[in-house]
Amino acid sequence: MRKKILWAVITLCLSVLTIIALFYNGGLSLPELWQDIREATLGWLVAAAFCMLGFIFFEGRSLVLILRTLGYPARKRRGFLYASADIYFSSITPSATGGQPASAYFMHKDGISGSAVVVSLILNLTMYTLAIVSLGLLSIVFFPGIFMEFNLACKLMILVGVFAMVVLAVFFVILLKRHSILLGMGDIIVSVLNRFHCRAAARKVHAKLDEAIEKYNECVELLSGRKRLLLKTYLLNLLQRTLHVLVTVFCSYAMHGRLGDGLKVFAIQTYVVLGSNFIPVPGAVGISEYIMYHGYVMLLDDESSYTLALLSRGISFYTCCAISIVTVLLGYIQLRLRKNKGDACISEDSI
């Protein structure tokens, strides 16, 4: 918990420094930014806000679909909570490492088995990765010129991001097909415990591991023959990522950008996602804005590029994080109330 609080503080500090840098480099002031927002087209800003909400909703919808296939009666409302936990804690931890454990916490509290949680998160993350790779490939095929216009630093980050995404997707697919990898990891833990003469603990871990791997394999086999499920999960993740990128496109339109530049803005933002996804900085704060600016100046002047970066990032990241943390807090309060009610019922029965 302390680590998460520390990373949250670090993310906040990085965010403040990044916003200050954007204002300074763009020659902007708060009154000027506010004036730009007031002059923006409200309808496009509302569309951007709905896309941001859709980004959360469709991740949750994908998780609910997987869990229902595994036999758990997950509700859409709980899916929104699982997705919010993933998005918020991913945004405050390096390389988004805290998202899945936070999502798993709420799933486990809802009575979902550990093996089902692991399988559902791995499958969803696989489709999420494939969705980003798909959008990236489309941008590279149809807008290679935009990639070539980025500076060397941006190009390197984008290429590293593409490579890492492909490797990660392959790893997740192998992990779903060969549970022996997880068994090998568990055996390493058992051997370490034996080496430190913790034989009783090693036997317990080995017994639990065998049971967990068996259940994990059952879940994987249940999902492996469901091609329609795999397709739906992929399409939901593709829709989720598309909506996230569309936030920037609609913000561009809100700032009276040319409608004909929409696909170019979409491609630029896709390159931003690819280039910032694997940088070990919480929420890719500072990195995303850097690639954003160097992409937007291909279409806009300096001041408009900084304004678009602030506006789109404000909706797609900061507002999204705010909604996610409120959802997580409400979900946690609900869990505590449920636990207290259960404890009270047990006390009454014992009397």
The confidence score (pLDDT) of residue 148 equals 94
pTM: 0.81
The confidence score (pLDDT) of residue 200 equals 63
Count other Cβ atoms within 10 Å, centred on residue 206: 16
The confidence score (pLDDT) of residue 53 equals 95
Q: For the chain, how big is the Rg over CA atoms in Å?
A: 22
The confidence score (pLDDT) of residue 55 equals 94
The confidence score (pLDDT) of residue 263 equals 94
Ranges of the chain whose pLDDT falls below 50: 23-24, 26-27
